[in-house]
Chain A
Amino acid sequence: MPRLKAGQRHEVAFTLNGVAVRGEAEPRMLLTDFLRHVIGVTGTHVGCEHGVCGACTIRLDGVATRGCLLFAVQVAGRDVKTVEGLGGSDGRLSPLQEAFRRNHALQCGFCTAGILMSLDDFLEKNPSPTEPEVREVLSGHLCRCTGYTGIVRAALETAKGNADA
């Protein structure tokens, strides 16, 4: 049974946005710190480190979850998707990102990455949600800037766009 010792760094290899990456982490290192400061992708933000604000939300094996409540060593061998993996490789925005822009669903943008990742997961599983359903999912995020209106609209518009397409 592998036991990763405290105080030592251990190699963690995983898939990040479709690309194999590796880095070293102590067992206690939070996934958020690992992604941001070891791997160097800083799009995932940290607002509370106790699971409430949602800024750190990422997709782990496709499932939206809090990055701040995971340890880096837990993602070894797994698939992580962050905001950096949302758009096209040519830098084009995804329909959801476009909808955010159109609907002024962000101001400071600090909460945005987490919300995008939640919706990325949710809309994939629930292609035609109602507004209350969208708000229910968004209740796992805090945004101080927008009052949520634009975010709700962007999510509903994306769903509708996907349905029309």
Chain B
Amino acid sequence: MNEVAAELAREEAYTGRPLKRVEDAALLTGRGRFIDDLPSSAGTLHAAILRSPHAHAELVSIDAAEALKMAGVAAVITRKDVTALTRPFTVGVRQPMQHWCLAVDRVRYVGEPVAVVLARDRYLAEDALDAISVEYRPLPPVIDPERAARADAPLLHPDVGANVVSDRSFAYGDPEAAFAEAPHVVGTTIRYPRNSVTPIECFGMIADWRPDDGTYEITTHFQGPFALHPVMALALKVPGTKVRIRTPPDSGGSYGVKQGVVPYAVLMAVAARVAGRPVKWIEDRLEHLSAASSATNRVTRIEAAVAEDGRVTALRYDQLEDCGAYLKAPEPATLYRMHGTLTGAYQIPNLTVRNRVVLTNKTPTGLNRGFGGPQVYYALERLMHRIADELGLDRLEVIRRNLVPKEAMPYRAAAGSLYDSGDYAATVDLAIGEGRLVGLLARREKARKEGRLYGIGFAAVVEPSVSNMGYITTVLTAEEREKAGPKDGAVASATVALDPLGGVSVAVASTPQGQGHRTVLSQVVADVFGLRPEDVSVTVELDTARDAWSIAAGNYSSRFAAAVAGTAHLAAMRLRDRLAPIAAQRLNVPAEEIVFSGGKVAARSNPENSLSFHRLAGASHWSPGTLGDGVDPALRETAFWSPPELAAPDRGDVINSSAAYGFIFDMCGVEVDRDTGKVSIDRYVTAHDAGRLLNPALADGQVRGAFANAVGAAFYEEFAYGEDGRCLNGTFADYLVPTACEVPEPEILHMACPSPFTPLGAKGIGEGNCMSTPVCLANAVADALGVSDIDLPLSPAQVMALIEPNEPPPPHAAAVEAREPGRALSGEGTATIAATPDEIWRAILDPASLARLLPGCERLEAIDENTYAADVTVRVGPVTGRYTARVRLSELQPPHSLRLDGDGGGTLGTGSGTAWIVLQPADGSTRIEYRWEAEAGGKVAAVGGRMLESAARLLIRQMLQRLEVGAAPAAKRPWWRKHLPLGKGR
């Protein structure tokens, strides 16, 4: 922190100031250019994707003939197209599994693409989806990672022979000895749920195929890492130069998620090739929430060897990472991103880790803000609280005692991360001082005296930025790595150019999605040339055919400020170094004398001796001949920079997984409502050390954004699945993104220990709160409730179950149905029907009357003894679903009991159910006792989960009525018939 620091500290410098953004004018006036705003060529086809309603099934057949007959439909893409034109995606572990861009032999999660319709517009394309018939043979799904890891679990990829596709163990230092010697071992088990910082703009792309040179051109808001560009090229079976990716000027948020466009980019590229026309696909919210991407859910057992004073001498992690149905590149990166940093902010010399990756019938996972950090820190920071509690020590004191001391910087953490700089203790002091911990303690005391539930939480977190491209190879053994060749570094690139009128332009491969990269780059580069930010124009659209990029390009791992902005600075400096001799010649002074300031280039000793920057900058265009001997023209500089500290993992699996490491200390007070379990955040303080801040206003914006995302993860957001693998959160009514009423304003504090390893001393800041905040809030809630086990999301029901595990019993036990909680839909009941058991039996067994009994049955045809094919239109209120179903009667005990099975699929997804029916004579009538179980998959489950069970009950009521109408002589119809005109109302 040398010359650059001095320069940045200059009074007139723009870097470091909270300038307004250059991006905003267009975005505020509706002139943004997002993917769906871009013009598309005439003849562009619009795609709609047919998706699996099953979590796990064999794909027996696909018949698109009817769809192809529909007006406006140009093509239907199915597995035969993708097997002809692509190959399965490259997988990060050595296992025989195949992930194609479209389901080929099986579907493995609800929402997996099965076919693509290309039509004149999206409306017609969706019409045609309904006309494709697909036959599935359902397989048992496995949703829970612990269950999936068991030997008897259904297998997703039979060729692998297990669902655990990677199992590695690591040891650093001497953990066994440390555990053996420790007076205390404290542990906890965490089940971290699935969620996603789902952007408000869904995926979108326009794909085209140029037959003349065999190039695929795809415009999409892919956010990187561009290491996935070769993955796309390999899947498309073409050289990398034949896959041209372009990004639109604007992207409506990503937070990692838009890394997930990759399989779709390949799919739509194929679609465009098959159709011979450009193809546009805009994902809708239902598709996005059910099938786009997700962070991993993880089961972690963590233990610490602890000395009497609370010092941790060793950590033991056992992590079971659930990546969903396929290991989609770059997974299992979520598990390894934090690998070098597993000891967090603490000086813990000994570490042992077991990492397993398991596949389940859920959406494949991918990048997500915080990437691996939330999962690790939830375990580690819960553990730190528990250590204090179990040893009877002060929680803050335990954190403090273990922090990496300032003197140890740069500090090599046990598993290899090289913490570049930081004063953790001072940052903690800043937070508790300016954040007024004293006040929080007083509020807690007061609240508790009044019988209210108030808790305080802390979290200390090291926030890594600029990922080492080699960290992911830690999943391989040293031998496997040797064979594959080393992977390391994190190349950033930037180009600075001068135009004939002396204008300065900057281009970077940073693919921002709202972080204001253009603003920051204009500040940084303006300072180099002594210009104003408005004199520098910045382009952030990327074109892989023309721009400078490398596999590390993109907008992830908080690499912009630390790596990209620094690289732009390097490029600008190089260009300045080329301009200086030209100026020197014109001003007749030595090049060292030249200063760039205030739009002028002048001699340091005699500022009057100057020329305008623009004149100088244009010189190499207009008069290269006058530059003089040995002076090169100054037109354009492209700089590439990779942090030298980022080596490949060594033979002992030591890996410096990131280039820079920020520090965060969070503290909060929360209050829990005793009656409702709702948590309100009283105060949230977050103290950051992200090195040098290039634009503090934008840095705070990143903190606030990540904080809001984390509030969502802590309390609201979860991708929940039924046991049968149905997705329960297909809409924003069920996937709960917090609003302005749920997100309070955090108090943000800053420390600045600049990084010695990054060009500008900056570190990442945008992900940290996704790591620190969920656990800080959970710690506070645990403190409020006095509980030691607590998992996310802290929904009111979950919190209430902790406050009050036992509820008052029902007044008379009989009124209550016995059922397993959380199971598929189920219920039981009784009804009395004015017909004899024999009459009812005949009505059920006779196909003609059975057809009348089943609500909405339009056709019933015997296909076997007591087995029928049926077309059924199910109606619940205005909602109608057409199903093609199979109905089977079995376990027949005439006229006493039987079992009725039905399953089918249709426009609303799939449904299946079983009813066990017992008929008891009762005074000329019949008492029917029934028990039922049902499952629903696909759309109706994803959007109507809240009402599914009520809907199932309604259908059963409809059926009972029909049974009674069908079986009973008209005169005997019971009174309630008149009062419940079910199935007739609207």
Q: Give me the interface of A with B, judged by CB distance under 8 Å.
A: 26, 28-29, 33, 36, 41-50, 52-53, 55, 82-84, 86-87, 91, 93, 97, 100-102, 104, 106-113, 116, 134-136, 138-152
Contact = CB atoms under 8 A, between A and B. Distances in A.
A87 B253 CA distance: 24
Contacts, number: 177
B250 interface: yes
Nearest to B711: A147
Nearest to B30: A43
B27 A147 contact: no
B252 interface: yes
Contacts of A144: 197-200, 253, 255, 705, 708-709, 737
Contact of A50 (B123, B285, B701, B743): B285
B750 interface: no
Residue of B30, B513, B703, B740 ringed by the most chain A CB atoms within 10 A: B740
Given A45-B252, A107-B701, A50 B732 contact: yes
Contact of A84 (B23, B29, B706, B745): B29
A127 to B, nearest CB: 20
B789 interface: no
Interface in B699-718: 700-701, 703-709
B494 to A, nearest CB: 21
B405 interface: no
B605 interface: no
Given A47-B202, A47-B285, A84-B30, 11 more contacts: A43-B29, A48-B732, A50-B732, A106-B24, A108-B253, A110-B34, A113-B30, A135-B741, A138-B741, A142-B737, A147-B704
Given A45-B201, A45-B252, A145-B514, A86 B697 contact: no
Contact of A148 (B27, B250, B740): B740
Interface string B3-22: 00000000000000000110
B309 to A, nearest CB: 38
Contact of B29 (A97, A149, A150): A97
Interface string B727-754: 0000111000101110101100000000
Given A50-B285, A83-B29, A83-B30, A107 B516 contact: yes
Contacts of A106: 24, 27-28, 514
B36 interface: yes
A52 B733 contact: yes
A138 to B, nearest CB: 4
Contacts of B37: 36, 42
B816 interface: no
A18 to B, nearest CB: 15
14 contacts: A47-B285, A48-B731, A86-B28, A104-B700, A108-B251, A108-B513, A111-B252, A112-B27, A134-B740, A138-B739, A139-B741, A142-B200, A150-B701, A150-B704
B442 interface: no
Contacts of A136: 741
B21 A151 contact: no
Interface string B458-477: 00000000000000000000
B23 A145 contact: no
A146 B705 contact: yes
Given A36-B36, A111-B200, A152-B740, A43 B732 contact: no
Given A52-B731, A144-B253, A151-B740, A110 B28 contact: no
A111 to B, nearest CB: 5
A156 B251 CA distance: 28
Contact of A26 (B27, B34, B123, B253): B123
Interface string B170-205: 000000000000000000000000000111111000
Contacts of A49: 284-285
Given A53-B200, A151-B740, A108 B250 contact: yes
A113 B31 CA distance: 10
Contacts of A152: 740, 745
Contacts of A151: 740
B36 A148 contact: no
B913 interface: no
A149 B745 contact: yes
B32 interface: yes
Contacts of B700: 104
B849 interface: no
A149 B684 CA distance: 14
A128 to B, nearest CB: 18
